[in-house]
Structure 1
Amino acid sequence: MNNSKLMNPVRVILPILLGAAIYAFGLLYFIIPNELMEGGVTGITVLLNYAFGISPSLSTLVINIPLFLIGWKLLGGRQIIYTGVGIGALTFFLWLFERLIKQGWIDPFRTHSDYLLAALYAGVTLGAGLGIVFRFGGTTGGSDIIARILNRKTGWSMGQIMLAIDIIIIGSSLFYIPKEKILYTLVAVFIASKVIDFIQEGAYSARAFMIISDHANDIADIITRDMDRGVTIIPAIGAFSKQAKHMAYCVVSRQEIRTLHQIVRSVDPKAFVIINDVHDVHGEGFKVE
């Protein structure tokens, strides 16, 4: 019983530490050596490093203290604990990689021509790090706290919120960073936002079909027989015609989308079909946890 209680926090904290390490590595290995920018509070620390040579680990800790206090009031007990772990981990790994770079143990990726390559790898690395941290309920402080609060309040994805905040802050750095570096940075930020959503929402993506047809039952029978997928028949009424109809609701994998399209067209070419993205599907025929 006690071991089980201890293991749950460990299973959360260890991935947060891993994500913070990946993020810190990407910042010091790809971003700063190529004089690119980053969004959020991290972008401020990068600018302070460029302008005054202030250590990113030091400025990250100092700036995050008041934001951590705000998060303490708004994000709840366990959430703020994981936020504190994220802030502490990011500060530590920034400090660690700074020392390893200064001592020559790590040779950062520097380029004078292929900034697109640096931006691509920076986006993947930073996005992977933050995505892991977010997926396990933590943040690395800074705008991550703001993003998580807005995610709860508005339902917008973490990646979308981070992208908006990053664009605002990066745009304000035009007075110092050359425009071409800003454009490369936007590439990195965009890729990072997509990687964040990919990791947080799950690598497995399915599609939900809503099929409105006078032959919905026939379509459902063929889907069940030929595809071995469950279908839910939902009664509906046409707002214009006032006639009773049926809607077939079915979730399939990406590989089965074309097959389902063909079934619908073969039974009722006039069927009205709505397709939505679905993430983290659980149940029979899909992943089980």
Structure 2
Amino acid sequence: MKLDLKARNILFILIGAAIYAFGLVNFNMKNQLAEGGVTGLTLILYNLPPHFDPAISNIVLNIPLFLAGWRFFRRNEFIYTLIGTFSLSFFLYIFQHVITFNFSLSHDLFLAALFAGVFIGGGLGIIFRYGGTTGGSDIVARITHKKYGWAMSKTMLIIDAAVIIISIIYLDYRQMMYTLVGVYVGSRMIDIIQKGAYAGKALMIFSRKSDEIAEKIMSSLNRSVTLIDGKGGFTRREMNVLYCVVSHNEVFRLKNLIKDIDPDAFVTVNDVHEVFGEGFSYPKSSPNKLDKAQD
């Protein structure tokens, strides 16, 4: 089973690296858009004489980082990082010299930036989700976190910002601004893929008619609820507080349902960034089974 899990992780890291490389070659390199981290440095070396191939410079720049940071990784993490980095260079070579496409969008850099963000962010999100990295600023961030306690996200942001600023030596202001658009879209794609596609809303319902509302939710929406013992701070009255998670398109129906039963109910609604279980990551079951799952 462990071998199957490792094989799956490696497979998706390879897929993520292919998507990342495809976006970098066809939308960043062909439209002269920059990127952050070590990848951004490879683009600087590519755009300035003597024009180093990113497939080679990516490995060359990462080798000293591997030597400096290998002890800060667990064994599997280090292996996945090696796979991610070398597979990225492999696919960069493939999409530059073997399988080529004509995606020049110099006439519409906004569209190029969107495509770059979607492919690069999507590829990185897949790599990160399955335990890999592409080396570079991630290694530096781990070293500074272990040695100095610096937050990894801040270190990576500083490195990315510095590389993008340096990229002004071959970019004009227009390309720089579109690069920032691509970087933002990429960061959102990473978040979406890492956090999962199944999101929803969590509602806390405070009502004197909690039992009636709970029954209606289960019968009308086929969603279960959890009853939490509560006590009013002012009235000192004991009541059941209902907790329920629904999909985005069910929130309006649930609000109307609550208002019909108890217009005076107090309801809080919060974003839930990832949900898995019956009714979300796989089909709904009966309310009774859902009840057992939440209880």
TM-score category of the 2 structures, normalised to the smaller one: 0.7 to 0.9
The superposition leaves residues 133-176 of structure 1 with CA deviations (integer Å, 9 ceiling, x where unpaired) of 111111111124467899999999x8x98667534532343344
Higher mean C-alpha displacement, 267-276 vs 5-14: 267-276
The residue identity in structure 1 corresponding to 2:91 is F
Aligned twin of 1:124: 118
Moved more, 238-247 or 258-267: 238-247
2:291 corresponds to: none
Partner of 1:37: 34
Q: Distance in 2 between matches of 1:84 and 1:253?
A: 39
- 1:23 maps to 20
Q: CA deviation at 1:83?
A: 0.9
Q: Secondary structure at the match of 1:274?
A: strand
Q: In the alignment, is residue 109 of structure 1 matched against residue 103 of structure 2?
A: yes
Task: Name the TM-score, length of structure 2 as normaliser.
Answer: 0.82
Q: 2:221 aligns with which of 196, 220, 227?
A: 227
1:147 and 1:69, CA in 2 relative to 1: closer, same or farther beyond 3 A?
Answer: same
CA contact (8 A) 1:22 1:128 kept: yes
Separation of aligned partners in 2, 1:9 and 1:214: 52
Counterpart in 1 of 2:53? 55
Number of residue pairs matched by the alignment = 280
* Residue 98 of structure 1, aligned match among 79, 96, 99: 96
Aligned equivalents of 1:206, 1:199: Cα separation in 2: 15
Query: In the TM superposition, what are the counterparts of 1:215-254 in structure 2 within 5 Å?
Result: 215-239=209-233, 243-254=237-248
1:218-263 residue CA offsets vs partner (Å, 9 max, x unmatched):
3222212221211111123445665544421111122211111112
Cα offset for 1:20?
Answer: 0.5
Q: Counterpart in 2 of 1:84?
A: 82
**1:190 to 2:184 alignment:** yes
> Closer, same or farther in 2 for the Cα pair 1:46/1:135, shift >3 Å?
same
What amino acid is aligned across from residue 13 of structure 2 in structure 1?
I
Q: Report deviation, 1:97.
A: 2.5
Q: Tell me the secondary structure at the aligned position of residue 270 of structure 2.
A: strand
Instruction: Say if 1:67 and 1:110 are closer, same or farther in 2 by CA, change over 3 A.
Output: same
Q: TM-score, normalised by structure 1?
A: 0.84
Cα distance in 2 between the residues matched to 1:155 and 1:264: 43
Which position in structure 1 is the counterpart of 2:292? none
CA distance in structure 2 between the partners assigned to 1:260 and 1:213 by the alignment:
14
Counterpart amino acid of residue 112 in structure 1: S
Q: In the aligned structure 1, how far is the partner of 2:190 from the partner of 2:135?
A: 16
Give the share of equivalent positions with the same residue, in percent.
Answer: 46
* Unpaired runs of at least 5, structure 2: 284-295
Shifted more, 163-172 versus 265-274: the winner is 163-172
Deviation at 1:267, TM superposition (A): 2.8
Whole-Å separation in 2 of the counterparts to 1:90 and 1:170: 20
- Structure 1 residues 161 and 232: CA distance shift in structure 2, 3 A: farther
Contact 1:163 1:190 in 2 (8 A): no
Question: For residues 285 and 109 of structure 1, do their structure 2 counterparts lie closer, same or farther at Cα, with a shift above 3 Å needed?
Answer: closer
- Shift in Å at residue 75 of structure 1? 3.0
Q: 1:62 corresponds to which letter in structure 2?
A: V
Structure 1 regions of 5+ residues with no counterpart?
none
- Using the alignment, how far apart are the partners of 1:115 and 1:202 within structure 2? 29
Worse-matched range after superposition: 72-81 or 275-284: 275-284
- The 3-state SS of whatever aligns with 1:207 is strand
